[in-house]
Amino acid sequence: MSLRLQHALETLYGLERRRDKHDLEGVTALLSALGDPHRAFRSVHVAGTNGKGTVCAFVERVLREAGWRTGLFTSPHLVDFRERIRVNGRWADEDWLERMIDRIASLPEGRDRTFFEACTALAFAYFAEQGVEIAVVEVGLGGRLDCTNVITPEVSVITSIGFDHTEILGDTLEAIAGEKAGIIKPGVPVVTGVGGPAGRVIEERARVLGSPMLPAGPAIMTEVRRDCDGPTFSAPGPLTRSDGSPIPGLVGHWLTGPWGERLEPSEVPSFLGVNQNLALGVLAALVERGITIPWTAVRRGFAETRWPGRFERSPGDPRLFWDGAHNVSGMMQLHRRWRGARPAAIVLAVSSDKDLAGMLEVLHWDFATARIFAARTRSERSLAPAEVATQSRSAGFEAVACHDVASALRAALSFSAEAPVLLTGSLFAVGEAMEVFGGAPGEML
């Protein structure tokens, strides 16, 4: 990345916490000044507490395999800002980003915009200029007032509901579901894997707007129950088409779809987990909306999809695994993936606004014997390592505080000898680990 682009992005980052007001007025005005680029392409809109990026990656990869010119807008990035904005899998052009950041800064409508408003405008403008046919757009935070919520998609997706950003979205699952259901548009199909009371909130919103519901299964984690030793599950029901007819779903490890075919287990990347049926539901809905997706594209797309930073082995040290789980729901999914395995050490870095006590409780279910090496990322929101270590000890772990992610990883790997080490708690931490051990997303996904 050029020094000039780095300086421009540093100016953008300075806007991140400038305003506490959450609305769509600013981004709408900015996009209008840029010619309303978000109206130039079709889209898929993906919200949810966890699983958004995975579903986005899978849907985009299959669409690309089907011959569509795709856009992909996700957040946060792991190592390079340009990861957030991709066309046909490739990063946004560096020179174009420099020019467009300058242009946004010169517009009256560009003044006092937040970091994510500027990012959203950059992505949509780039997609329009590059002739994108279908963009897969990940919600940044919540849904109803997220600045991506200016699009009218072909399909709206709500992957899961859990406790995160409660200071903004509410402190009950129903309230959080209401905010995320704010992406639902009149008559636009909704694919969701959410069950229970939160699922009923989404269903009611869809009913009011006349939006067909396409629930996906087979099961999702909905809450941490304090009176049991593991996660609880909710099965929302079978996957159906808009007319109510069934679409074959996940049965064991066999994934099928309206194409009348099936994927072998070896063709389903392990990180997809419970999100694989959600992605298939989205693709089925797109087919019904007239978007051609042959079965061969589904097969190849599943096989080729990669979403870095989610339960991966480090290419620099086979003992090191990392996962960007950063809330209780994410830790529960991580817990399921590690069933039967025991890391000797856990490098833990979290943001100050996260439920660290709840995350530690889930980690303690199976990993009570692991030593925690507390670290902090370069993010201004990162919780001090001493506080992470203190809370870890209160949760029953042995814990030591380290200065940063790199030093914590070195200490953990030295401590663990040949046993595995897990890095978790923050995608920012995963990105910093990738800078040291490799594995960063390339310019082509």
**Could you please report the per-residue DSSP string of 113-163?**
--HHHHHHHHHHHHHHHTT-SEEEEE-SSSSTT-TTTT---SEEEE----S
Phi-psi region of 47 (alpha: psi -120 to 50; beta: other; left: phi over 0): beta
pTM above 0.85, yes or no: no
Q: Which CATH number fits domain 312-437: 3.40.1280.10, 3.90.190.20, 1.20.140.10, 3.90.228.20?
A: 3.90.190.20
Domain ranges of the chain: 3-304, 312-437
The CATH number assigned to the domain with range 3-304 reads 3.40.1190.10
Q: For 329-339, what is the mean pLDDT? A: 79
Residue 3 pLDDT greater than 80, yes or no:
no
Which pLDDT value is given to residue 220? 34
The mean-pLDDT minimum among 246-260, 318-332, 346-360, 371-385 falls in: 246-260
Could you read off the pLDDT of 268-314 as tens digits, one per residue?
Answer: 555 455 677 788 889 988 998 999 998 889 888 988 888 888 888 89
Which pLDDT value is given to residue 239? 39
Q: For 230-244, what is the mean pLDDT? A: 39
Which pLDDT value is given to residue 242? 43
Closest Cα to residue 137, out of 117, 157, 163, 118? 157
Closest Cα to residue 165, out of 189, 136, 141? 141
